[in-house]
Amino acid sequence: MQRFIGFGKSATMALLPLCVGLALLPVSAQTPPPTVPVVKYDLSYDIISPVHSTHGMVSSEQALASKVGVDILQRGGNAVDAGVAVGFALAVVLPNAGNIGGGGFMMIHDAKTGKNVALDFREMAPQRATRNMYLDDKGNVVPGRSLYTHLAIGVPGTVAGLSHALSRYGTMTLSQVMQPAIALAEKGYPVSRSLAQILAAERDHLGQWEASKAIFFKQGRPLQEGEMLVQKDLAKSLRLIAKQGPKAFYEGAIAHKIVAEMDKHGGLINAEDLKNYKVVEREPVVGNYRGYQVMSMPPPSSGGVHIIQMMNILERYPLKQYGADSAQTIHLMAEAMRLAYADRSEYLGDPDFTKVPVKGLTSRAYADELAKKINPDRATPSVDIKPGQPQPYESDQTTHFSVADKDGNLVATTYTLNLNFGSGIVAAGTGITLNNEMDDFAVKPGVPNAFGLIGGDANAVGPYKRPLSSMSPTFVLKDGKPFLVTGSPGGSRIITTTLQTILNVIDHDMNVAEAAIAPRIHHQWAPDVLRVEKGLSADTLKILQDKGQKISVQPAMGRTQSIQIRPNGFDGFSDPRNPDGRTLGF
């Protein structure tokens, strides 16, 4: 097998470490994958180069998971087989975000039929959830209740979602695709530098729960770089799922342990909640941008709707002429973001419970009305922007990985625990870290969540509702044929990160490596701040400030995993903002 590794450095992102030196080695069903050698960091590369392959490609946030996916492709599996294998592997090797105790979304492109499917396996609120469950008797939000308690946990959807995808669109058995994840959990792997840093940062978060400490701590402190992370209980849970299917999680021994965890600590999830969980296949939200077709997740994701909404606004401007990092391009993007996020606060929620005006929000006529509010020379204060009126244009009618195979099948998956390690709670005896997705509801209208996002009635807490998400797994097609697969983690910044990746490729002729490394910006209406990464020139920032933008230079945002489909194969790149990420192909 040949190894394909991309190296790169941009002057604008010179401080981002690039992870190099991993050989691509086979993963067999009988033998656990080899452990990762010591990671070396090198800032000396001055060529931005995507990874190239001809037969298939996997781009994920952890090298071991990418290896697992490529091995499945080599063994004859399709993109869905590989994607499901990667999903289960990330639950082991990226424990702060990869999961079977959370939920997410998967976009699937079936090459044979040309069908595009938006698979919704987002967490659901328990049946006993109530609108005001996170408020005290005076109507104030109780700090931490929707984040760090058993009340923060939504009914997980990942096991159901991955199993559904495999049975409907894959070619291999659950046991076959899960075996590498089981081996990784059973035998363990060395903690990377970045995981060690996350564990140290989350010490208090994890340290209050004995079942969590038993996995992630050693001698009373978090595991350190190079120490082995072995997850015996998680291996047992994965083995049960591989043998019995999703029923093991939703009705069997795992379900019993999750319910026991809830009962012991005042959580709401009961056996009926788990048994009643359902995966939903939805129609992707679709738009067009400069001759390309963009397909992304519909509600309860807000991502696809607002990516297309912002593209509809921005298409009228010659962004290529203005330049990728110019003040004018950034100003226009920021103003389009501001308008879209104002609408997000009002209209987006679970479409099974509230009317979401998707057609109106993605209408070009509505974009024309919004664009009239943009002053190309001056920022409009967010206080002067209210949610728009998309209804006249309506009729009645957060880790990410990407996979592409030689037959043209595509998978883009974003799934999450919400914050790092979710609630921080491991269900005793399962090894499964549980989410804190309930915070993605509007726990009180007008009160921001952990990502500063404001919501209202459309995203209020309710039984069996799915909380609004920003996760945006996305395909771009050209002349109806696959062109780009992308997505990112990053909370509220997922949408704008994904948008800029696509604009960088289409408008600014960047390859996927350049598109990933370019500095990013983000505006979400409230708070009224234009967040920018380091790397923009002082002159550019001064012009933006003169236009009235309130600049805040903050740490890196987003970690894209992108694959571009070329006539001669695949070009891919893992965002170096996460040094553990890796794109591999064969």
- The pLDDT assigned to 26 comes to 33
- The pLDDT assigned to 455 comes to 72
Angle ∠(162,165,168) on CA atoms, nearest 5 = 145
| Beta carbons within 8 Å of 247's beta carbon, 6+ residues apart | none
pLDDT band at 451 (very low <50, low <70, confident <90, very high): low
Cα-Cα-Cα-Cα torsion 131, 134, 139, 143, nearest 10 degrees, comes to -150
Give me the CATH code for the 287-397+471-565 domain, please.
1.10.246.130
Tell me if 237 sits within 8 A of 431, measured CB to CB.
yes
pLDDT above 90: residue 7: no
pLDDT band at 31 (very low <50, low <70, confident <90, very high): very low
Cα-Cα-Cα-Cα torsion 263, 267, 269, 271, nearest 10 degrees, comes to 0
- The pLDDT assigned to 443 comes to 86
Active-site residue, selected from the candidate residues 149, 354, 362, 398: 398
Residue range 46-71, pLDDT digits in tens: 447 999 999 999 999 999 999 999 99
Give me the mean pLDDT over the 499-506 stretch.
98
- Residue 110 vs residues 78, 434, 486: alpha-carbon distances, Å: 10, 31, 16
Give me the mean pLDDT over the 79-88 stretch.
98
- The pLDDT assigned to 446 comes to 74
- The pLDDT assigned to 367 comes to 97
Least confident of 232-246, 436-450, 511-525: 436-450
pLDDT band at 39 (very low <50, low <70, confident <90, very high): very low
Residue range 366-411, pLDDT digits in tens: 999 999 999 999 999 999 888 887 867 544 436 999 999 999 999 9
pLDDT above 90: residue 33: no
Q: What is the mean pLDDT of the chain?
A: 90
pLDDT above 50: residue 10: no
pLDDT above 80: residue 508: yes
- The pLDDT assigned to 389 comes to 79
Residue range 468-494, pLDDT digits in tens: 999 999 999 999 899 999 999 988 899
Residue range 140-178, pLDDT digits in tens: 999 999 999 999 999 999 999 999 999 999 999 999 999
pLDDT above 90: residue 16: no
Rg (Cα) of the chain, in Å, rounded?
22
Distance CA 289, CA 485 (A): 15
Residue range 107-129, pLDDT digits in tens: 999 999 999 999 999 999 999 99
Residue 113 is among the residues annotated as catalytic for this protein: no
Give me the mean pLDDT over the 300-310 stretch.
97
> What tokens appear for 236 in the block?
């047992």
More confident of the two residues 236 and 7: 236
pLDDT above 70: residue 15: no
- Own/partner long-range contacts of 230-234 (Cβ < 8 Å, ≥24 apart): 230/185, 230/186, 230/187, 230/188, 231/92, 231/95, 231/185, 231/186, 231/188, 231/431, 232/185, 232/186, 232/431, 233/429, 233/430, 233/431, 234/91, 234/92, 234/185, 234/430, 234/431, 234/432
- The pLDDT assigned to 387 comes to 82
Domain span(s) for CATH 1.10.246.130 in the chain = 287-397+471-565
- The pLDDT assigned to 44 comes to 30
